[in-house]
Structure 1
Amino acid sequence: MTRARILIVGGGFAGVECARRLERALSPQRARIALVAPFSYQLYMPLLPQVASGVLTPQSVAVSLRRGLRHTRVIPGGSIGVDTDAKVCVIRKITDEIIDERYDYLVLAPGSVTRTFDIPGLSEHALGMKTLAEAAYLRDHVIAQLDLADAATDPAERASRLRFIVVGGGYAGTETAACLQRITVAAARRYPRLDARLIKWHIVDVAPKLMPELGDKLGSDALRILRDRGIEVSLGVSVARVEPEQVTLTDGRTLPCRTLVWTAGVTASPLLATLGAETVRGRLSVTSRLTVPGADGVFALGDAAAVPDLDKGEGAVCPPTAQHAQRQGRTAADNVAASLRGTALRSYVHKDLGLVVDLGGRDAVSRPLGLQLTGMPAQAVARGYHLMALRTNVAKVRTVTNWLLNAAAGDDYVRTGFQSRRPATLRDFEYTDAYLTRDQVRARTRSAAGGA
């Protein structure tokens, strides 16, 4: 019996969950499973703000791909193009070697990249918060601003170094600002020439509400908590220009600032453009069974796919969250196995478990199964959810240990310096310029076919 070649692109929630379930459903004699991932870990992104603030170590949120995957071949690299007619995926390995990987079934879960706009100075000066490297870099950068502000003799320089602007009032931006504001204010006690009142954190979002997914009450509660802690929140406002030492907002204000963190949403991986398939706001249009129409043997899920939300109906699609990605991974695996066996595929249907937002310390807002919570009860739910979602016991133990250590011993304000000379642009950290065009992919696969 010929073994089916199953290729999974992406080592995030959706891709890893799909691989794990396929290993249980199909024997190695029935299928050869390969997973393409640029890093040797699955990143638990919801806890990145706690890495940036130093509450958690990077290892706590970087779960090894080798734990839980028994016979899946892991290809260290990223897919840079797909030819669905030839059933070939073009992969750039971490050595920059480019290879062609043939497949019978392709599961696309390449995730997303930070969404940017044509704002002067944004690409040159903004910092991201989507990768582990960006979180580590941001921590070093923020502490460096405190060090430099303490040593500064010019009041204008000190003011610009002590103002931090976070663009994006969603979960990532709000949690990043909340966690880092808490640590910088606490750190001021260790600096003889810094006054905590001089440290300014500012959330900017073009939307009229902060985290509208929370609903009016919890959204208002979160806004009140942030403002009570001294975090300025400007809604209905965006960034007009970013310069090395100041940021201009669309309402005309020019603020001294040397740190702008950009978390204003995500867009699907540039890989999807190489397929030439129909998209919905940049995400692949898929059926409720996660299949890509017109592409034989191709499934798409997670941030890469506009998966119909059958629970809401009326053309709604599932939001790009970890909760959906994990569940879609299981559904995709079941449907790939069903395709091999010639049985019926099932639709993706879900029940929302709720939302959690950790604002650092004892501050949080949560809505588990519709119940609205704030304060310590919300914090307990938020941390319980994160522990449940972490895939391995090792990661759970590391995370709990870090939380306990931080609660007992407090924060440290150490710059590692490991990335002090690395480029800090979104493009450098997220490799958005590494992809081929659709024509380049087709020319490559046609040339390879002709040579064969």
Structure 2
Amino acid sequence: MVGAGFAGVACVRRLERRLTGREAVISLLSPFSYQLYLPLLPQVASGVLTPQSVALSLRRSQKHRTRILPGGAIGIDTDAKVCVVRTITGDIRTEPYDHLVLTPGSVTRTFDIPGLAEHARGLKTLAEAAYIRDHVIAQLDLADASEDEAERAARLQFVVVGGGYAGTETAACLQMLTHNAVKRYHRLDPELIKWHLVDIAPALMPELGPKLGEAALAILKRRGIEVSLGVSVSSVDDDNVTLTDGRVLPCRTLIWTAGVAASPLIGTLGAETVRGRLMVEPDLTVPGLPGVYAMGDAAAVPDLAKDEAGAICPPTAQHAMRQGKVAADNLVAALRGEQTYPYAHKDLGLVVDLGGIDAVSKPLGVELHGLPAQVVARGYHWSALRTNVAKARVMTNWLINAVAGDDFVRTGFLASKSGTLKDFEYTDAYLTPEQVRAHTASLRAVASS
């Protein structure tokens, strides 16, 4: 098993329940021994939740018997039936498999924009969320200490790129962080703090529909966030973010959430892809690769609940968790010579938490905004947390934050790092298909003999 996201953990838990120790040995490749509840990362970045609240331990269950390998798969050779693994100590080793379940997830999608790789920060990992919180508070500290008006204005201007759920929630939650924090900085004029949300799309979160998209837009504008649609970033440097409409924003913080792309691990397979995601059959098997299953963000799973030809499931948690269970059932069925079944799930709706009492939600097609939407959004996230300990921590954090607020302190976490996407997502760690085959040449020779 590769990956400990929603799909991977759901699959492992199902396999542990359905297979005995005599039937199979289950191994899980993951750099961290926790499942990250990704939808709540903006609340970690804004300090509403602690990092531990959204990191659900894989070792807490007393029934746990899966072997956890602390590392990441950086290449796969399906001929030799091995994964090439980089451990957390940097060593490279191979792990053989009989059946392979791929749930490596996704990475932040980037473009060839001058300066982007050197200056953009993402919000895809727990470390990034903690880093961004420190970084934003550091800008307030530095602006407060500066006597240079230009520097002060630049440090208090923030740009978020991406008008999807992640970008909208990130801009909304971090704007609330700075809005509340600036009250502790008596030398700073709150009017100097400016947040920009930029997206090339013509509408905000189009999946929600025009009515809720407009409701979310109204909430952001009421908070003073400047939303620019139909616009993207043309270049970034140490001091400025230049937009495609010609505007130059003096800025020291660019948060990039402009979509996701399948894990680069998929490129090492040499298999067919759909829009960058690994093509799979409705039963979640990979065509032409016996014994290989794939799901989640990295797989183009046919959406059988839609009448639209060629529709694939969106990369959301509700689909990933259910795909994991179906993949486990189909793997068990294949081992026992039983019938497998296709994956089908009708989308239950979407929730977007904008912080405080603001949210927009569409549960089962019902459009909500304001406090009712916030109740639905937080209720959904709370119920989706896998362990009771995590539920208790998240609820306690929400209550403490509502009553006592935040102290807005920096931890100094990774202060020496530049905080770019590569620093946290390790997108340059993966091997090319040629490198994989060179690394496993001896194993393939043994397999063929």
Find the residue that maps to 2:440 and give its secondary structure: helix
State the distance in 1 between where 2:173 and 2:161 align.
15
Shift, 1:376, TM fit? 0.9
Find the residue that maps to 2:25 and give its secondary structure: strand
Q: Is 1:396–2:391 an aligned residue pair?
A: yes
State the distance in 1 between where 2:324 and 2:28 align.
13
State the distance in 2 between where 1:449 and 1:172 align.
42
Matches within 5 A, 1:202-213: 202-213=196-207
Look up the match of 1:144.
Answer: 138
Whether the 8 Å CA contact 2:231–2:244 is kept in 1: the answer is: yes
Equivalent position to 2:163, from 152, 169, 187: 169
State the distance in 2 between where 1:351 and 1:450 align.
46
State the distance in 1 between where 2:328 and 2:102 align.
12
Q: Is 1:53–2:46 an aligned residue pair?
A: yes
Shift, 1:92, TM fit? 1.1
Look up the match of 2:115.
Answer: 121
Shift, 1:338, TM fit? 0.6
Amino acid at match of 1:131: T
Shift, 1:268, TM fit? 0.5
Whether the 8 Å CA contact 1:54–1:412 is kept in 2: the answer is: no
Shift, 1:422, TM fit? 2.0
Whether the 8 Å CA contact 2:80–2:443 is kept in 1: the answer is: no
Look up the match of 1:363.
Answer: 358
Give a deviation string over 1:16-61, Cα, whole Å, max 9, x none: 1100000111111111111000111110010000000000000000
Q: Is 1:340–2:335 an aligned residue pair?
A: yes
Look up the match of 1:235.
Answer: 229
Shift, 1:451, TM fit? 6.7
Amino acid at match of 1:339: A
TM-score (norm 1): 0.97
Matches within 5 A, 1:15-34: 15-34=8-27
Q: Is 1:95–2:52 an aligned residue pair?
A: no
Equivalent position to 1:278, from 265, 272, 278: 272
Shift, 1:443, TM fit? 2.1
Give a deviation string over 1:334-387, Cα, whole Å, max 9, x none: 010011011111100002111000000010011111111111111111011001
State the distance in 1 between where 2:290 and 2:446 align.
24
Equivalent position to 1:328, from 292, 316, 323: 323
Whether the 8 Å CA contact 2:161–2:257 is kept in 1: the answer is: yes
Shift, 1:449, TM fit? 4.4
Shift, 1:93, TM fit? 1.0
Whether the 8 Å CA contact 1:10–1:111 is kept in 2: the answer is: yes
CA-based RMSD of the aligned residues comes to 1.0
Shift, 1:444, TM fit? 2.0
Look up the match of 1:447.
Answer: 442
Find the residue that maps to 1:9 and give its secondary structure: coil
Taking every aligned residue pair, what percent have the same amino acid on both sides?
72
Find the residue that maps to 2:26 and give its secondary structure: strand
State the distance in 2 between where 1:284 and 1:451 align.
28
Whether the 8 Å CA contact 2:5–2:36 is kept in 1: the answer is: yes
Give a deviation string over 1:267-287, Cα, whole Å, max 9, x none: 001111110000011100111
Shift, 1:102, TM fit? 1.2
Give a deviation string over 1:233-256, Cα, whole Å, max 9, x none: 000000001011111000000011
Matches within 5 A, 1:158-237: 158-237=152-231
Look up the match of 1:43.
Answer: 36
Q: Is 1:134–2:128 an aligned residue pair?
A: yes
Find the residue that maps to 2:435 and give its secondary structure: helix
State the distance in 2 between where 1:67 and 1:323 align.
23
State the distance in 2 between where 1:451 and 1:337 align.
28
Look up the match of 1:256.
Answer: 250
Look up the match of 2:101.
Answer: 107
Amino acid at match of 1:39: F
State the distance in 1 between where 2:384 and 2:74 align.
29
State the distance in 2 between where 1:213 and 1:412 align.
36
Look up the match of 2:59.
Answer: 66
Look up the match of 1:5.
Answer: none
Amino acid at match of 2:13: R
Equivalent position to 2:7, from 1, 14, 17: 14
Look up the match of 1:353.
Answer: 348
Look up the match of 2:290.
Answer: 296
Whether the 8 Å CA contact 1:49–1:176 is kept in 2: the answer is: yes
Shift, 1:448, TM fit? 3.1
Q: Greater CA deviation, 438-447 or 114-123?
A: 438-447
Give a deviation string over 1:154-175, Cα, whole Å, max 9, x none: 1111110010000000111100
Amino acid at match of 2:113: I
Structure 2, unmatched stretches of 5+, are: none
State the distance in 1 between where 2:60 and 2:348 align.
26
State the distance in 2 between where 1:422 and 1:246 align.
20
Equivalent position to 1:309, from 279, 303, 309: 303
Q: Greater CA deviation, 359-368 or 421-430?
A: 421-430
Shift, 1:91, TM fit? 1.1
Whether the 8 Å CA contact 1:85–1:295 is kept in 2: the answer is: no
Whether the 8 Å CA contact 1:364–1:376 is kept in 2: the answer is: yes
State the distance in 1 between where 2:48 and 2:102 align.
33
Shift, 1:316, TM fit? 0.6
Shift, 1:417, TM fit? 0.5
Amino acid at match of 2:416: R
Amino acid at match of 1:9: V
State the distance in 2 between where 1:45 and 1:324 align.
14
TM-score (norm 2): 0.98
Structure 1, unmatched stretches of 5+, are: 1-7
Shift, 1:189, TM fit? 1.1
Shift, 1:450, TM fit? 4.0
State the distance in 2 between where 1:172 and 1:143 align.
20
Whether the 8 Å CA contact 2:130–2:413 is kept in 1: the answer is: no
Shift, 1:135, TM fit? 0.5
Whether the 8 Å CA contact 2:277–2:298 is kept in 1: the answer is: yes
Give a deviation string over 1:172-217, Cα, whole Å, max 9, x none: 1100110010110111111111121111010000000000111111
Shift, 1:446, TM fit? 2.1
